[in-house]
Chain A
Amino acid sequence: MRTIDRMGRMSVALLASAATAASVQAAPSPFRQALQQRSAAEAFGARRLPALARQAGSDAAAVGQGLVRALQFQGLRVAIGVPEQQEGPRGLWLEAPGWTMKVSRDGSAVQFRTTPPGPIATRPAAGKPADAEIEAAGRSFVRTALARSITLAKNEELVFLGTRFNYRGGQAADAAAPEAAALAGWAAVFGRTIDGELVVGGGSIVAVLFDAEGTVEGFDFDWPRYQAVGAPLDTLDVAAIRRRAAALASPPRADESRSERRFECGYFDPGGRSARRALALVQPACVSAVVASHGFGPGNQTQAGILTAVPAARVPVVDPKWPEAATLCAGRADACRVLPIAAK
């Protein structure tokens, strides 16, 4: 098996010859760079992967209360008092002066935001902290405040996906140009690998948000437990996945150009924030992000970003909540399989 460790080193030397179909984003983490290169070259590290099922977490109230207790010792800029609770069809809201927390019904996904009083501090955009510093601060917060929620099985790893920055700019009415942009905060983003395969699609994510002084101002996570289900699924090679992706896409018009920004293979999990989106199973897929541009003369174009989650198992499991799989399986009894997964 070819795997990527969390520093982005691949266990086999294929990077030099890898043809990257996806253009590289601005400063992805070393892990993500390696993932994109491996995805372009050979899709997956293994030829057979088990399907996975998201396991229900603790109930939302227990998760929320546990996090509220943990946050009281994190040195936040707002006091974590006793919140009001409101249960709705999409989950539980906890609200108190200066902060809100949203917990999904199954307790696996949480969004926490603070709104400290007073103006938001900034620093010059050139004063960005290093990625390594942001990663370390994010890992520290995950290990402490989120320790009960962000757990890992023996074959899983928390991997650093990169930093995200928040900027501010402005312009006076009588000024000819904007003032220099300032940095208002940043986030450390982590994902999960299972036997070396990244969970793509947003279903295994931890993001820790910091203000411009480095204090935690929020976090998001979607972090279920996974369980292998049934017989392993054979994965396709890159060429076959590309053919499948082409079949799922509409052909471009003559006056339209398309460019692929990203191609990443792993387990596809679109997340558990709502029952409407949650898949029956988490299966191998490659996510292709394509920008379609329509020109209106020099300097003028409209754009749209289209992201496709291409089923990458040779014979995937039917899942009506996964649109690409539903399209692939429609009307073709032999193209897909149903649960329980038997060897095929």
Chain B
Amino acid sequence: MTDSRKRTTLIASTVLSLGLVMLLGGAGAAEAAARFGTYCQQDFQNGWQVTTPYTWARCSAFNNELATTDFKIFYFNLSNKKYYLERFGDHQPGLDSADDVDLLFINTHGGAFTNPVTAAYAMYEQGQLAFSTEMRLGDSAWWGGGLAVLATYSCKTLKVDDNSLVARWAPALRGGLKMILGSHDLVWDSSTTDEVGEDFADDIQHQMSFKSAWSSALSDWSVDQDVAVVATGANAGDCWSRMDNMKWQNYGGYPFLRDGNIGYTCWTWWDNL
């Protein structure tokens, strides 16, 4: 999609969604159509990261499916999006930033850095990365809330085997972000995985929990997808309840937990789905 087409989509969708949000008094009313956005990157400036040929197809199919029931606020590539993802730019007057949607789907290269400890997402611009430890998601939308669910089709960013998951993600979660869907190791780009986004959208539309929808959508039991999901809670029981039961139809009923209200972070993962 060209930038001008994306911008047209953005404006039209924003008008629609703003009207809805005003009617509801804020996003998150159960069963109401919700707002989602998409940031994807298939090829990179000067080829600085390897091209993943099925990214556009994966993201477009996600958009097309979820837009049948919900409001697509934006679909952008990852050019100049570091600022929009990190803490100083996570709400924009144009409502085109991470905190301006309820669900954000990202597809790009990822990494779990150890020096310093952070999760990294590759941007379009050569050498540029967005870092989880520079994010604070969930608290900067004009209505007081923000991003509820971050879904990233990227490698490694939810790495679990070095005991550093909380260190990598606590800064982003402290804003109230309710759930992160991603991978603890590898996810694959191929013609056999270009429907991951569409399947995920289809599954959450049909009352599956985010956790189950993410694992079911990514798996084809052949390509070895490493799937992980992270949630927060006031305590362990609350965290697992949110993990197991939160879905697209009820996520608004789960409060944003911010800063000291987060008593526990929980995660689940599958190898080689």
Q: Find the B residue at minimum CB distance from A294.
A: B49
Q: Find the A residue at minimum CB distance from B235.
A: A172
A20 interface residue (CB < 8 Å to B)? no
Does the CB pair B190–A291 fall under 8 Å? Answer: no
Which of B72-80, B86-94, B112-120, B141-149 touches A?
B112-120
Does the CB pair A205–B220 fall under 8 Å? Answer: yes
Residues of chain A contacted by B122 (CB below 8 angstroms): 294, 302
Residues of chain A contacted by B84 (CB below 8 angstroms): none
What's the A-B contact tally at a CB cutoff of 8 Å? 199
Complex Cα gap A261–B224 (Å) = 10
Q: Find the A residue at minimum CB distance from B268.
A: A168
Of the residues A168, A202, A291, contact of B221 by C-beta under 8 Å: A202
Does the CB pair B115–A300 fall under 8 Å? Answer: yes
Lowest 7 CB-CB distances: which A-B pairs, in order? Answer: A307-B190, A202-B220, A299-B114, A202-B222, A302-B111, A170-B266, A305-B188
Does the CB pair A323–B53 fall under 8 Å? Answer: yes
Residues of chain A contacted by B239 (CB below 8 angstroms): 170
Does the CB pair B50–A250 fall under 8 Å? Answer: yes
Of the residues B115, B221, B240, B260, contact of A207 by C-beta under 8 Å: B221
Given A200-B222, A277-B195, A305-B188: A172 touches B50 (CB 8 Å cut-off):
no
Residues of chain A contacted by B45 (CB below 8 angstroms): none
Mark B residues whose CB is within 8 Å of A: 47-53, 109-111, 113-115, 120, 122, 129, 155-156, 160, 163, 165-166, 186-195, 198-199, 202-203, 206-209, 212, 215-216, 219-224, 236-237, 239-241, 244, 260, 262-273
Q: List 21 A-B contacts (CB under 8 A).
A: A93-B206, A100-B207, A119-B241, A169-B165, A170-B239, A171-B165, A173-B264, A205-B222, A253-B47, A277-B195, A294-B122, A299-B114, A300-B111, A300-B115, A302-B156, A305-B187, A306-B50, A307-B189, A307-B190, A307-B192, A309-B191
Q: Find the B residue at minimum CB distance from A253.
A: B47
Does the CB pair B192–A169 fall under 8 Å? Answer: no
Does the CB pair A305–B155 fall under 8 Å? Answer: yes
Q: Find the A residue at minimum CB distance from B50.
A: A292
Task: Beyond the given A170-B265, A300-B115, A308-B190, please list 20 additional residue pairs across the A-B interface where CB-CB is below 8 A.
Answer: A26-B271, A90-B198, A100-B207, A115-B209, A164-B273, A170-B240, A171-B264, A205-B220, A207-B221, A220-B219, A271-B220, A291-B186, A294-B122, A302-B129, A302-B156, A303-B110, A305-B189, A306-B52, A307-B188, A323-B191
Q: Find the B residue at minimum CB distance from A321.
A: B191
Complex Cα gap A169–B198 (Å) = 28
Does the CB pair B212–A113 fall under 8 Å? Answer: yes
Residues of chain B contacted by A305 (CB below 8 angstroms): 155, 186-189
* Nearest Cβ on chain A to B125's Cβ, whole angstroms: 14
Does the CB pair B155–A262 fall under 8 Å? Answer: no
Does the CB pair A178–B165 fall under 8 Å? Answer: yes
Does the CB pair A95–B199 fall under 8 Å? Answer: no
Residues of chain B contacted by A166 (CB below 8 angstroms): 215, 268-270
Of the residues B111, B193, B223, B268, contact of A303 by C-beta under 8 Å: B111
A196 interface residue (CB < 8 Å to B)? no
Does the CB pair A120–B240 fall under 8 Å? Answer: yes
Does the CB pair B192–A201 fall under 8 Å? Answer: yes
Complex Cα gap A273–B264 (Å) = 38
Does the CB pair A299–B115 fall under 8 Å? Answer: yes
Does the CB pair A168–B267 fall under 8 Å? Answer: yes
Q: Find the A residue at minimum CB distance from B202.
A: A90
Of the residues A171, A273, A309, contact of B199 by C-beta under 8 Å: A273
Complex Cα gap A305–B188 (Å) = 4
Does the CB pair A207–B188 fall under 8 Å? Answer: no
Complex Cα gap A266–B71 (Å) = 42
Of the residues B236, B262, B268, contact of A184 by C-beta under 8 Å: B268
A296 interface residue (CB < 8 Å to B)? yes
From residue 148 to 186 of chain A, which have CB atoms closer than 8 A to chain B? 161-162, 164-173, 177-178, 181, 184
Complex Cα gap A307–B220 (Å) = 13
Residues of chain A contacted by B191 (CB below 8 angstroms): 270, 277, 309, 322-324
Q: Find the A residue at minimum CB distance from B270.
A: A166
Q: Find the A residue at minimum CB distance from B192.
A: A270
Complex Cα gap A270–B222 (Å) = 9
Complex Cα gap A122–B5 (Å) = 48
Residues of chain B contacted by A167 (CB below 8 angstroms): 160, 268-270
Complex Cα gap A304–B43 (Å) = 12
Residues of chain B contacted by A184 (CB below 8 angstroms): 268
Complex Cα gap A102–B49 (Å) = 36
Residue among B51, B120, B269 having the largest count of chain A Cβ atoms under 10 Å: B269
Does the CB pair A173–B187 fall under 8 Å? Answer: no
Does the CB pair B186–A303 fall under 8 Å? Answer: yes
Residues of chain A contacted by B206 (CB below 8 angstroms): 86, 93, 95, 100, 102
Complex Cα gap A253–B266 (Å) = 38
Residues of chain A contacted by B260 (CB below 8 angstroms): 173
Residues of chain A contacted by B220 (CB below 8 angstroms): 202, 205, 222, 271
Residues of chain A contacted by B223 (CB below 8 angstroms): 202, 289, 307
* Nearest Cβ on chain A to B127's Cβ, whole angstroms: 8
* Nearest Cβ on chain A to B155's Cβ, whole angstroms: 4
Complex Cα gap A291–B223 (Å) = 13
* Nearest Cβ on chain B to A89's Cβ, whole angstroms: 9
A189 interface residue (CB < 8 Å to B)? yes
Q: Find the B residue at minimum CB distance from A174.
A: B263
Does the CB pair B271–A164 fall under 8 Å? Answer: yes
* Nearest Cβ on chain A to B71's Cβ, whole angstroms: 19
Q: Find the B residue at minimum CB distance from A306.
A: B189
